[in-house]
Structure formats: structure tokens, C-alpha cells
Structure 1
Amino acid sequence: MYCQRLTLKDFRNYRRLDLHLSPGLTIFQGENASGKTTLLEAVYILATTKSPRAGSDQELVSFEAEAEFGAPAFARLAGTVDRQDGEIEAEILVLRDQPPGADNAQAGTARKRIKVNGTARRSIDLIGKINVVLFSPEDLDLVIGTPSLRRRYLDATLSQIDHRYLRHWQDYAKVVAQRNGFLRNVRERQNQSRGRLPGRDEMSIWNEELVKNGAYLIKRRLEALQSLNGLAATTHAQLTGLNSTLMPEAVNGFELVYQPSFDLQGTSDEAAIAARFEERLNEVRSQELQRGVSLAGPHRDDFAFMVEEANIATYGSRGQQRTAVLSLKLAEVGWMQAQTGDRPILLLDDILSELDVHRRQYVLDTVQARADQILITATDLAFFGDEAALREVAALYLVEGGSVKRV
């Protein structure tokens, strides 16, 4: 799989861009804040419909974009992607709706319009058509950040290859929000009038929906981590064995460990998970009513990066943490291919500067063997070794102030 063409209009600092790309290794070189990361972000959005770094969709629309003829200012992203089963054309418009009289470009809201092969579609219809793996320096937060970041990673990754997971995830999020509202209302009634507790039948309606959707999410997360474990452990051993004087951590014992919010008793069977989930909801019923929030389920789960049974978020060095995330991301490429039959597009955002020379070469060799297209950003071509040799295997682009030029 590879992106043949990327077209941008009023997307962040790009007023107009029409970029034709080739399979293999492509390097975007430029100063910080020149727009390199924005190119990778655009490809990621076309695959997932969401930005990996924007706080809101309004940020995606250029400050210079203007409303015309009564239509709101908008950003346009379009891409043509070659897959094993044929080409696909994806287009996303991000429209910035501003309230009357607003002079702040970030005031108001934003909405998306999506087309697949020229036909208007929903987000769910586009997700999974294009597969990508993104690795950026911020991914170190997967190890040391909050559980919500790790859950978001699993959800975004699984949604690309499993539409059933995506539907269950969306339904589950709605049920959690509605169930929490119900619990808060019950708590308020109790506080105000010491009203009766909701009956079992009333609670069972919400529990049934929560369990039905949540059990599948947990099952697929367990399966994904089990598959990723084997691939990531091999990569981790190879990375850590490259230069033991630079990184003396153990070369074996790397594992991604799922941490559910209730005891699964070692099962990965969906029906058994559902039974344990329902039991746990009954156990915490009184606590949930008192606190007005759902206390068990995949929205409370986590996973940990372990080396020799030690959580490296707490006990690992920054180098060990970076190696662990890199192992996961490289494993994700092979895992996605095994799941879909097609190699994902690999997006590497300025990661070589964080690696020593041995790991840089390992990463470059590995990604070229595992992906049909690798898009890399860098501030300095020196990270890639001999420039003459690099030009023989890579397409080089200079990025300056929202313009991209082949060099």
C-alpha cells in the first residue's frame, strides 16, 4: 500500500499543495516548524479521520482560509492510495463554522465532510480503507503517559483493521456516557429526596449494553497484544542487542501486559469475559450509584510495557522506554499486514535524531523490508549517513514554509 498523490488546500500552513509520491523511502527534510510533520499528519487523517496532534479540528484549517459566497472557510485533504485490491481516493473537508461577528479564526466549531471514490460517506466508511503506522517522539508517552493514551492507541489501531471493533467502540462510548448520566441522576435524587434506588431491571438495561459491547473490545485487545507481543519481543531483542555498552538492558523478557479493570481469571473467551464483566458490575453497583460513574469496563483498562517483569514506565531509563515503543511500532507494521494482507504506510516523524547510529541503521533497514512506503521527516540528512548513497534509494524533498520541493 502506498500514497500516490497528496493534495492539500488551506490545511495548516499549506495554502496549496499537489504532491506526487512513489513507493519506497521518501524523506522530507527541513527546519523545525516548516511543515514536515503536517504532511505525515495529513496522511494519518486520511486513514483514520482524526488528527494525532490537534486538540480540535478547527486547528486544521489555515488561519488565512476565508469564507466565500456564504460558505465557511475550510481545509481540504485528498489522497490517492494504491492497495492490493485497487486504488482508493479519499477526500476530507474540514469546515470551520464561526458565529456571526466572530473575529477569532479558532472561534466556533468545525465539522467534516468525507468522500470515498467521489461518493459522500461517513467516517466509519473510510476508516480501514487506508492503513498507517505513525511513530513520533511524542509516542514515548505511550510508556510514561496516562492510561487513556494507551487505550486510545489500542482503539485507533484496532479500528483500522476491524470494523466490528470500531462499531462496538463507538457504541460502547455512547453507552458509558448515557449510563454515567443515569447514575448521576440517581445520585442526585438520593441526595435531594432520599428516593428509592433503581431496580435491578432498570440497571440491567444499561449493564446489558455495556457488557455486550465491552466484552468484544476486551477480547480483541487481548488478541492484538498477544500477537504484537511475539513480534515486538523479537524486535526488542534485536534492538537491545545491537550495542550493549550503549544500552545495557536485558535483551529478553519484553512483554506488553493487559491490565483489565476486573479479574478476567485468565480467560480471553468473549462469553467468559462477558460473564465476569457482569459479575463485576453487580459487585460495584453500590459504589457506582454513590459516585455517579461507571467503575468497570474497557474504558478503565490499561496495558504496561514490561521488561524482565518490571514496568519500565517506573523502572526503565528513557533509552529503554524509547526502545520499547520503537519495538511496538515496528511490530505493528507486521501485525497489520498479517491482519489485512496489505502493508501499511509507515510514517516516521523525526525519530532518527533520538537514536544512536546503530539503531538508526537497524530502523532504516527494517522499515524498508517491512513497508511498501515509508515517509520520514528529518531536520538533517546527516542522520541517514552518506547522502550520495541515500539518493540512490530514497526520494528527497526540501520543506520550507509550507512548500515542498524535490531535490
Structure 2
Amino acid sequence: MYIQKLHLYQFRNHEKISLEFLKGPTVFHGLNGSGKTNILEAISLFTVGKGLRSATYDEMGMYENDHRSWDIRLQMGDNDLPSINCSIQYRDKKRSNHIQGNPVQSSKNFNEWITLFWLTCEHDRLFIDSSKARRKFLDRMVFNIDSQHAQNLVAYEKLAKERLTLLENGHFNSSWIESIEQHMNEYAFKIYSSRFKIIEHINIETHELDPIFPKFTLSLTGEYESIYKVNTSEEASKIVKEKWIQSRSIDQQRHMTHFGVHRSDLNVFHHIKGNANQCSTGEQKILLMGLVLSFLSYRMKTDERLILVLLDECLSHFDFRHRMVLFKQIEKFYQSDQYLGSIHVFMTGTDRVAFEPLESFATYHEIGQNI
């Protein structure tokens, strides 16, 4: 399974563009401002969330288009499989999603066949960014494995807001708030478990990385995680519940929830240099790519759905040796029989020459200046 065709209409700077792909990685190359990342953004909308830029739908329409309406159509399949057509339309401030021409409830329906993961220039700062950015990055990986994870996060956040509203209205000891905290406890454990599981598996996959990548270990850190590290699940659940009871007063005073899985952090530890935020910019980018490759290896070994991988300006800070290792691993994803799932990698860069080692099995598209 792979993406065969992509059509954009009045999306960002692309008035109308139709692209066809072969089975293999795809490279979009061209000048800065030509709209390479805009194409990746369009693809990134075929999953839960707002895409790789987290933009509003109005912002995605062409500037010259007063109505800000746009269309995206995507066809996927394989030589021996019937094609699956997916589309997204934005009209009159409303988004609609379709599969085989039939409307579906949400973008989550696309995930029956495909999942998405992306790496953009913004992620170059991931290890020195906020813990929120790292949680979001971690949760994007979890979404690719656990389809319920997004719903668990939404449910937990909704309950946390309801609890805070009750506290601000003076309901400190009601059965209502006790019920909310009990449900928060249940969702928090599901979220923690999914995050912890994927981190464990990624740590195992790092042992298969090419030696050019530094050795590193991932871990979940935070007060919530610390409780589960030193207690049984049953004991930890009771402690967590008591923590929320004890923090009601301070949460009410400061208008925020001080404890829970919404304050967890992803720690990356370089075995020689320590925490990733102490590494140089180039070292951080290499660590990040090693993390992503390890995640993709685990995902493809355990899930048969197609994963679309969007790598925006992925070669920045990479020397020739690291580029060659990256390309070698991408080739392995396509050709090795150890993987259960399939993959379609989309990459962008200004210079086609940098991607020439992929020439034997990649599709190249030069994106013209159109702004």
C-alpha cells in the first residue's frame, strides 16, 4: 500500500496541483517558498488534529480566495489492491471528510487504513523546548499505535477542566468532584500506560540502529510517573487519588491543575553526554532522527496499516555519512521482510542532489515558485 495520487485545489499557495507517485520514497525539491511544506501539511490532515502546522482551516486557503475554501484528494492502493480514495473539503467554515466518495464522521476514520507521523524544522528544538512540546511529540507516536490514545487525552483534559470549574465555584467535598477525580484517575493510567509501553519498545529498537547514531535511552519523568515507579498499580492509584484531594485548595487558588499526566515529560539521555538538551544542535538532530527511526521500526513491526512519514528539511545538520545511513534505513523500511506494515516517506529539500542516493527507487517532484 502506498499513496498513488495527490490533488490539491486552492490550498495555501497551490491553486491547482496534481501529483503522482511510485512505490518508494518521495522527494519534493525546489526553492524556499515554493510550497513544499504546504504539500506535507495537506497530507498531514488525514489524521486526528490540525496537521503539522496546527493552523486554522481558514489559514490553509489561498490568500486570493476570499471564501478560503479548499480541497485535498488522496488515492492510495497497490498494484494488486483496489484503490482507496480519501478527500477533505473545506466550505463555508466547515470541514468534511470522505472515503470512496461517502462522508465520514471525522478524520479519525482515515486511520482505519493510514496513520501519520512528521518531523519538521520546529522539532530541531524539541529537547530544549517546553515539556508540552515533548508530550505532544510523544503522543503523536502513541497515536500511531493506540487508536484510543487521542480520545483518552481528550476525555482526561475535559474532566480536568470540569474539576477546576467545580473547585473555582467552591465545590470542594461534593460526590460530584470525587466522581470526576475517579474518572481522571482511570484515564490518566491509560495515558501513562500507553506512553510507557511505546518508550519501552523504542528503547529496545535503539539497539538495532546503525552505530553512527549515539546510544540513548528514553524515559517518562514527572510526579505522576514517580509514584508508579515505586508502588504497585493498586497502591499508586490510591496515592494519585489522594494527591488530587490534597491539591484541591491550591488548584482552586491558582486556577490550574498542578498534578497529573498533563505535566509529564519525555527525557532523552545521551549515554556519553547526558541529557539531550546539553548536546549541540547537530547532535540533537541526530539523536532525534535516531529516536524517530527506532519508533518507525517498532511501528512497522507491529501494525499492518500504511504509515505516512513526513520529513520536512530532514537533511539539515546532517553530514554525508549520516545522510547515507538515513537513506539506507529508509530503503530497509521498504525492502525488509521483517516489517508487517508498509510505509510511504515524503521528504523535502531545496537541492535534489542531496537526495541522489535514493534515485533508484524514489519519486522526485520539483515544486515551482508559486507565491
Fold match (TM-score > 0.5): yes
| Partner residue, 1:89 | 85
Q: CA deviation at 1:93?
A: 1.8
| Partner residue, 2:132 | 148
Deviation string 1:44-86 (CA, Å, 9 cap, x unpaired) is: 112345221143222111112244xxxxx41111212237986
Q: Which amino acid aligns with 1:75?
A: W
Retained in 1: the 8 A contact 2:88–2:97?
yes
How far apart in 2 are the matches of 1:268 and 1:333? Answer: 32
Tell whether 2:366 aligns with 1:398: yes
Q: Report SS of the residue matched to 2:89.
A: strand
Q: Give the root-mean-square deviation of aligned CA atoms.
A: 2.6
Tell whether 2:102 aligns with 1:119: yes
Q: Report SS of the residue matched to 1:10.
A: strand
Retained in 1: the 8 A contact 2:166–2:172?
no
Shift of the 361–309 alpha-carbon distance from structure 1 to 2, 3 Å rule, reads closer
Further displaced range: 367-376 or 294-303: 367-376
Q: Which amino acid aligns with 1:131?
A: T
Q: CA deviation at 1:200?
A: 4.8
Equivalent position to 1:382, from 353, 356, 368: 353
Equivalent position to 1:266, from 229, 232, 241: 229
Q: CA deviation at 1:160?
A: 3.1
How far apart in 2 are the matches of 1:48 and 1:365? Answer: 30
How far apart in 1 are the matches of 2:227 and 2:83? Answer: 42
How far apart in 1 are the matches of 2:183 and 2:266? Answer: 24
Deviation string 1:279-317 (CA, Å, 9 cap, x unpaired) is: 321332332233232121111111111112865344212
| Partner residue, 2:181 | 207
Retained in 2: the 8 A contact 1:345–1:374?
yes
Equivalent position to 2:172, from 181, 195, 198: 198
Please give the TM-score of this superposition, normalised by the length of structure 1.
Answer: 0.80
Q: Which amino acid aligns with 1:259?
A: T
Retained in 1: the 8 A contact 2:31–2:369?
no
Identity of aligned residues (%): 21
Q: CA deviation at 1:220?
A: 0.5
Q: Report SS of the residue matched to 1:47.
A: coil
Further displaced range: 208-217 or 160-169: 160-169
Tell whether 2:264 aligns with 1:280: no
Alignment of 1:169-208 (within 5 A): 169-186=153-170, 198-208=172-182
Please give the TM-score of this superposition, normalised by the length of structure 2.
Answer: 0.88
Shift of the 200–309 alpha-carbon distance from structure 1 to 2, 3 Å rule, reads farther
Further displaced range: 292-301 or 133-142: 133-142
Q: Which amino acid aligns with 2:121?
A: P
Give structure 1 stretches of 5+ with no counterpart: 68-72, 98-110, 187-196, 241-250
Shift of the 282–59 alpha-carbon distance from structure 1 to 2, 3 Å rule, reads same
Retained in 2: the 8 A contact 1:91–1:114?
yes
Give structure 2 stretches of 5+ with no counterpart: 335-342
Q: CA deviation at 1:128?
A: 5.1
Q: Which amino acid aligns with 2:217?
A: E
Q: CA deviation at 1:271?
A: 5.3
| Partner residue, 2:337 | none
User: Across the two proteins, how many residue pairs are aligned to each other?
Assistant: 360
Equivalent position to 1:238, from 211, 214, 222: 211
Q: Is the radius of gyration larger for structure 1 or structure 2? A: 1
Retained in 2: the 8 A contact 1:10–1:74?
yes
